[in-house]
Amino acid sequence: MIINNTIVYVISDSLGETAEFVARAAVSQFKCGTTEFRRIPYVTTEDHLLEIIEEVSRFPNTIIAYTLVVESLKKLLEQESAKRNIATVDVLGPMMKVISEVTGHQPHGEPGLVHKMDDDYFRKIEAIEFAVKYDDGKDPRGIMHADIVLIGVSRTSKTPLCMYLAHKRIKATNIPLVPEVSPPEELFKLPHGKIIGLKIRPNMLNEIRTERLKTMGLMSSADYASIERILNELDYAEELMKKLGCPVLDVSNRAIEETASKILKIMYRGDQFEK
């Protein structure tokens, strides 16, 4: 039972959040005295560990809760703590032992793997939120913070591509090109390679827009889907893309995944124009 004025040292070779969470959950089941938690993250050397154990030994009623995955550090902690009659709790050890027995595999012994996955997850969420916030030119300020900016006329898959790229942890935004609307000035301030133009065959765009109008309950003969209007928009977009000097991808008959793959090649390998 935890008694008055107990100190729980949380030692980890990463952040130590897991061990502290478990320790606090356990302490919450007792109504006796106060408990102080002292978390010490990123303990990766024997010298550092010995300094901590020496510090712990100077206080009565102490417990060490730890998440150390390097075997040599675990053994040192247990041995030195036993010499000083310090109680220890290996938070990850029992679970890792069972997993090893069931799977027949040994643990990696690499600190911080959980947080590497967490960081990856949060980067993905951040990219998705970015794509939603700056979709369809809602806020041109996003252009300057994007990893990639997609430009093209309406219905060239700009939004789906941005969302797909977001799941690859890429902050993507898109700007619709309309002859009657001047493009954002921010486009002309971006370094070469950050903008990618999207084009499509006129007849295909006509079919896509006609179907779009039908789903909206509008007449398919509207100017939005007319060949004349489409040709005008595509000519305008082509001229602007030439002015910007950006790579151009043809999205006609291409799946989102295929186009996204080509965008990634442009970003990371410097591929240029693809007709």
- Residues annotated within the binding site for ADP are 152-159
Q: How far is CA 14 from CA 103, 159, 260, in A?
A: 25, 38, 35
Buried b (16+ CB within 10 A) or exposed e, 222-252: eebbeeebbeebbebbeebbeebebbbbbbe
**What's phi and psi for 113, nearest 5 deg?**
-65, -35
Token pair of 25 as six digits: 């959950």
Distance CA 113, CA 221 (A): 57
What are the binding residues? 152-159
Which residues on adjacent β-strands are paired with residue 89? 65
- State the burial class of residue 112 (Cβ atoms within 10 Å of its Cβ: 0-12, 13-18, 19+): middle
